[in-house]
Structure 1
Amino acid sequence: MPNIEKPKPYHHGDLRATLLTVAEAMLERVGAEALSLREITREIGVSNNAPRRHFPSKQSLLDALALQGFVRLGAALDQAAACDQPDFLQRLLAIARANISFARQHRALFRLMFATKQRTDISPELQQASYNALLAGPRTIIYGQGIGAVVPGDPIQLALTVFAAVEGLMSLSVDGKLGGVPIEDVAEQIIGNIMQGLAPR
């Protein structure tokens, strides 16, 4: 009978954090559909049952990745929004660039996050995290309204107008460029055009 080596017990730190780190790397390699808990445990070197108390199912692992992604995205956008630049358009562009940068660095995670956001059965925690992650946009619109650079109106809807265009540009780009032009430059042109329409008359 062949000698089958059993996975060694996991003794190296936080298993949950390690599972998420390895899962995210695998997500970027193979996508959400092909991501496998069994392969993740094999890569870490733990038994197939070891992750169950943290993630009872593959979906719970994917939801945890999405939640973590929204927290990180929110931190990146908040940092961009915290700049001291008094010019409203430059503040808005800083957030757009941070959004584009995150999406380009974490393509599969970004897709998973926003696919998860559309589900009707997501947890309140995940729903709140997805909402909080994007608050830098409305806050910046409110700043623009305060200095007279943006028309009055619901800042969430006005921010959505801008960032829907950015999301659309990213969905059209497969290599970070559109017609050979870096997507950041195209976004600057598009946002500039949109803000002309949102400027007070």
Structure 2
Amino acid sequence: MPRTDADLRELLMRSAAEVAARSGVAEVSIRALARSLGVSHAAHRHHFASRTGLLTAVAAEGHRLLAAELEAAAPAGFLEVGVAYVRFARDHPGHFAVMFTPDALDLADPELAAARARTFGVLQGGVDVLASTGRVDDARAAVVAAWSLVHGLAGLAASGNLAAAGLAPDGDGDALLDLARRTAGMLYGSPGGGPDGA
């Protein structure tokens, strides 16, 4: 069955995310992707003028997916937002890698800017709730602390450094989420504290 333009756009984005997950963002080549999909090296130009355009689209999609997961977790408390962040990184490693490689992206792209703002809006909203209850004094530092904690944990797990240090949790992927919950709980409340205590 011949591919439609929409199919090709989706396939290029999915393939770019797969390469980024497997080999790193630096290894994403739009020509190689086109070749692997059996289309001419110029076929991508209808959708993406360049590698930067392709990776920017992948990053924007990643931020939209991440924001949706964070928003879904928000009613359960800020701690669960952090766990959702780690879950996203585990489940979407290619998107995650691309999203946080700014040199490969067009940071002025309106779709990416809007998607990033949505993601960080959820993180900021969680800290604002904590600030309104007097649990944090410096909201900016609290956002940095929360983001650093979950992003760092996700990165250590994805890179294999957690395992290399003998700190990777035993068990399936949910063991990583339990570790994220316990680690974030040290900063923002007991994992068993419920929505207000998380």
In the superposition, the TM-score normalised over structure 1's length comes to: 0.74
Map of 2:124 onto structure 1: 138
Contact 1:9 1:46 in 2 (8 A): no
The Cα shift of 1:120 comes to 9.1
Contact 2:79 2:188 in 1 (8 A): no
Rg bigger for which structure?
A: 1
The Cα shift of 1:65 comes to 1.0
Give 2:143's match in structure 1, choosing from 148, 159, 176. 159
The Cα shift of 1:13 comes to 4.7
Map of 1:32 onto structure 2: 25
Q: Distance in 2 between matches of 1:133 and 1:41?
A: 30
Map of 2:92 onto structure 1: 106
Q: Distance in 1 between matches of 2:167 and 2:97?
A: 23
Cα gap change, 1:25 to 1:168, in 2 (>3 Å) = closer
**1:52-100 deviation per Cα after TM superposition (whole angstroms, max 9, x unaligned):** 121121121111111111111111111111x3x4xxxxx1221111100
Q: For residues 20-59 of structure 1, what are the structure 2 equivalents within 5 Å?
A: 20-59=13-52
Cα gap change, 1:176 to 1:108, in 2 (>3 Å) = farther
Compute the RMSD of aligned alpha carbons: 3.0
Higher relative contact order (CA 8 A, sep 6+): 2
The Cα shift of 1:170 comes to 2.6
Unpaired runs of 5+ in structure 1? 1-7, 86-90, 197-201
Q: Distance in 1 between matches of 2:56 and 2:7?
A: 19
Give 1:18's match in structure 2, choosing from 1, 8, 11. 11
Map of 2:181 onto structure 1: 188
Contact 1:141 1:150 in 2 (8 A): no
Map of 2:72 onto structure 1: 79
Map of 2:107 onto structure 1: 122
User: Which AA in structure 2 matches 1:169?
Assistant: L
Contact 2:89 2:96 in 1 (8 A): yes
Cα gap change, 1:42 to 1:184, in 2 (>3 Å) = same
Contact 2:82 2:150 in 1 (8 A): yes
Question: SS at the partner of 2:100?
Answer: helix
The Cα shift of 1:162 comes to 1.6
Pairing 1:179–2:179 present? no
Alignment coverage as a number of residue pairs: 180
Percent of matched pairs sharing the same residue: 27
In the superposition, the TM-score normalised over structure 2's length comes to: 0.75
Q: Distance in 2 between matches of 1:119 and 1:14?
A: 24
User: Which AA in structure 2 matches 1:64?
Assistant: A
The Cα shift of 1:176 comes to 6.8
